[in-house]
Amino acid sequence: MDVRIIPKKLAGTVAPPSSKSIAHRAILAAALAQGTSVIRKVTFSQDIQATLRCVAELGCDWEQPEPDTLQVRGLWGREWNPAGLSLFDCGESGSTLRFVIPIALALLGGGRFTGRGRLMERPQQPYLDLFRKKGILWEQQASVLTIRGELEPGEYPLPGDVSSQFVTGLLYALPLLEGDSRMEMTSPLQSRGYVEMTLETLRAFGIQVENQGYKRFLVPGGQLFASRDTAIEGDWSQGGFWYAAKALGNPVTIQGLREDSPQGDRVVAEHFSLLCQPGDTEIDLTDCPDLLPPLAVMAAGRQGTTRFAGAARLRLKESDRLVTVHAMLAALGCRAEEGPDSLTVTGGPLTGGVVDGANDHRIVMAAAIAATACGGPVTITGAQAVEKSYPAFWQDYKKLGGEVHVL
């Protein structure tokens, strides 16, 4: 789906969708629990649907009694003996893939994993190196990854600078083992906010992990996940796009975001305040890489030059986001310069133009927000990519007064 946006100011109140990151974690914890959990305020994006497919493949039952509610019957104590290795369709969700791999090893002795888009090209080296040393089969042919073996308690050295998703996957799997385990970070842990989100969710479902300064994690074995009734808080990452709208002069009020949230992307509020001031500045994205698209839009509309550093991991997302954010800004008439791990944006008037959505939900949403400050219409290709994380984005955009035409 391609869309054409006629530039107009947005105005009104908007509530971002519920946190996709927290929902992934809550669904997996509920699936591993003893008893039935109720999870409310769930946004059924494509990524969340991928996680639901995978927990069903693990042997868990779930149903949707209301449009935004899940009822999950945990698989603890139930026998599940699939014929052969189960096939886990992870869609385009990196979180789903990396979270489920060690869980499937712990429960089923492995599985076959597939996905779409760039998912199966995204790096899995931390798991590959770790599991091969432990005698676990790891074989990828085309778009299917096969893993087979036994996950045993013990030492788990893991780099912290590739993706925190590997840390989360093991933190969910290791409590299921009979003995105790220790995960040691072999390099500084980045995106700590995502790991804190994991630890908070695990605590809520009855799992204890000793966090020793984010350098090592001590995980007792033989733990039981407890079922619970919970609600998913608003998503700061998606809220970042509405902060970008505010920075461009749109009188938008944002509701439903928890100020004391464990989500690392809550720093978007601080960056918004900084970018509303003129002058040259620099922002380190090491712990909040997903914020680059909305922050780059804020930078494009301000007076001064903004350098975004610590952004190398953005090359490994749904698109190479250093390339695609740069291309989006250039298409709209903004000056930007891409470095190996940085993007420098010089603010100025935006002209409008044609933006390649790059099958990346965050590029599409960023371009739509930037359109509100453009001098001419903006065409965005592949605008359906928002379904990955924010299915109601276009609906919310129009409610705020945006003019969108499907081509």
Amino acid letter, residue 24? H
| Local structure of 121: helix, strand or coil | helix
**Exposure of 114 in the CB half-sphere (CA atoms within 13 A):** 10
Quick one: 84 exposed, middle or buried, by C-beta within 10 A (0-12, 13-18, 19+)?
exposed
Catalytic-residue membership of 68: no
Q: Backbone phi, then psi, for 46, in 5-degree steps?
A: -60, -35
How far is 42 from 67, CA to CA, in rounded Å? 8
- Structural element, H or E, at residue 37: strand 36-40
C-alpha dihedral (398, 399, 402, 404), degrees to nearest 10: 10
CA angle 285, 359, 352 (to 5 degrees): 80
Q: 262 and 193 in contact (C-beta within 8 Å)?
A: yes
Q: What are 211's two structure tokens?
A: 């966090």
- Structural element, H or E, at residue 155: strand 155-158
Active-site residue, from 47, 290, 360, 396 = 290
Question: Pairing between strand 33-34 and 225-226?
Answer: parallel
The whole-angstrom distance between residue 220's C-alpha and the CA centroid of its chain comes to: 27
- CA dist 87 to 51, 53, 108, 143, Å? 13, 10, 12, 12
**Exposure of 160 in the CB half-sphere (CA atoms within 13 A):** 20
Q: Which residue has the tokens 């970042």?
A: 240
Characterize 310-340 residue by residue with b for buried, 16 or more Cβ atoms within 10 angstroms of its Cβ, and e for exposed: bbbbbebbbbbbbebbbbbbebbbbebebee
Q: Which residues are catalytic?
A: 290
